[in-house]
Structure 1
């Protein structure tokens, strides 16, 4: 507590509402005196202390402001006004990097939807601008040093480039979030390098034949049904726009580990997958399907159930304007160009074209799992299902 606040408390009664009104009216001297009396009476919370620090700062007494704002932050390290005052004081001293610690915290609060006083909106904008300038400056400095070290974006390690993007804030970090079964110590890769899967050559080379079998199913309207369907007596996401909708529909060749009637109608498609390490788990896998996404449809962000598998897409009908995001990596489907991704990392799909998009989807074992681990994972998941049978759902 400053000497000023002790003297101010000795003769005038404490009136918290009046102090706040004076503060928001910009009557800094009057507000400082009233807030100091509140503090001396031990009735000042973090928000009041932040206001008191603000008035000290406005009146040029940064020594008192620093003492009070530190007390406010000790009580509540997320008080937005205290964060702004601390950042402004450090910025005025030229300590831009230190100020940025508080500015970044303030901006994160504002962007998270937390309540931030309306009168500090200009301060939030100022904090955001400084944060962005510092990030750009740091990035430019780091890039200069990396250039000297031989770094070339697009040619150097893709993993390092991803790390650099995360460190400089150009991308957000996403992690595996399986809904049902988590196997630890597996790579947290969004898309896997295509060259890791040489057996995919056979799949891609069969694109035209597979497309022909797909078109026959479409002409005969064979087996396409909504991917998300309500099930009697089970909870359902009735608020999800694609439940029971043909805007996102599938025709399964293998479903929950069993062949469907359409498997016999698509022999060349299944022959192309002969070398793929398909998961073999009773009542769960493999899953092999044609997936339709109608014009304008949007599969909202979601995650899969187990991280012991990867999901493969072979694009077959790919109008422009179709996007697929896994984590912070956004791609467009190109006919005949397959990819492999981790579906336990948040992903979504959108079709902004005026035509339907169709891809072949199937799941495979993660290459990092050895044979023993695959056997044990299979036994564990099958045992879980046998003990508590449920509807197998794969996203």
Structure 2
């Protein structure tokens, strides 16, 4: 990718823990951008760039060039100056985030690359009740810590706007450069109706290299793997043979769904499902029955109640996670991304439903419906589901390693919680 900054060629940015911060800039009319304690970072960047005559600066002499698909083109003038300086300043300040918070005023537009951004969210304040739980979990660095489990349970109960404030004012204080924290903020903003703000956050994350693109946002990215939203069923060995056993799967699941007590059916609790506007009745939602997690049966009752299903999944050999997903009519699963591109996800249809469709990838990607053939996709790409039909959509969800991932890298601890 070629990147032209309209005359602004940035030198190294020198930051120190004490004193002021000086940003040397080649190609501008002043020798440096200086930040002093208490400055609003983005306001200082804009003030430095305001009126900068970059448009008259000769960038290329006796040269010709063209722009083709995939090229990056910087903005000339003050806008290009802001963009270029923000790219240099922000990552370096984030390396010492606690000191940055103490010394400089940081606002919403900081998260969007100094692009003017009004996220429409009031300040949450320092007394967020979830702050201590998340701080304890971060300090422990333990994915199985009780504090993290309680934090995850409580954050899903927050309404969308409150959740967005929490991610902005709490998560990004503790984890300023964490791709999952920034993605969670963007998803919550979108759920709260702040689509433009969410797009700014996503573009900023991609620009900082936190994810491959605004529409493929794994918290844990495995490098050098083919990336495409939808895959052929043949990419996962044994999947098509497994799909021929759906009648047996359906019989076992029907018995479980009919239980009045001691049932393994659990309501999905990530806060991603909502009722479609105008949907009739109150029986909407997204339920699951977990069969395998990281290759292990999570509950002794599963082995007895789903013997045929488990035998078929294990015989296929490739799958380390398996669960039934039951989506009720009138339900929308909001746009989100899976934890890593190190896996591919397969859906084997147990009960198709007219009116249920899946989108994977860019917002304008073609929606697909569930049919007899298995559906395979990379769920690290953004995806959502809409069910406007009348009957439940039931699929067997299976996870397998990306076929190009070398055996020595097929370790769950490398990619967070692959569930």
Quickly name the TM-score band, shorter chain normalised. Answer: 0.3 to 0.5
Name the larger-Rg structure.
1
- TM-score after normalising by structure 1: 0.47
Structure number with higher helix proportion: 1
- TM-score after normalising by structure 2: 0.44
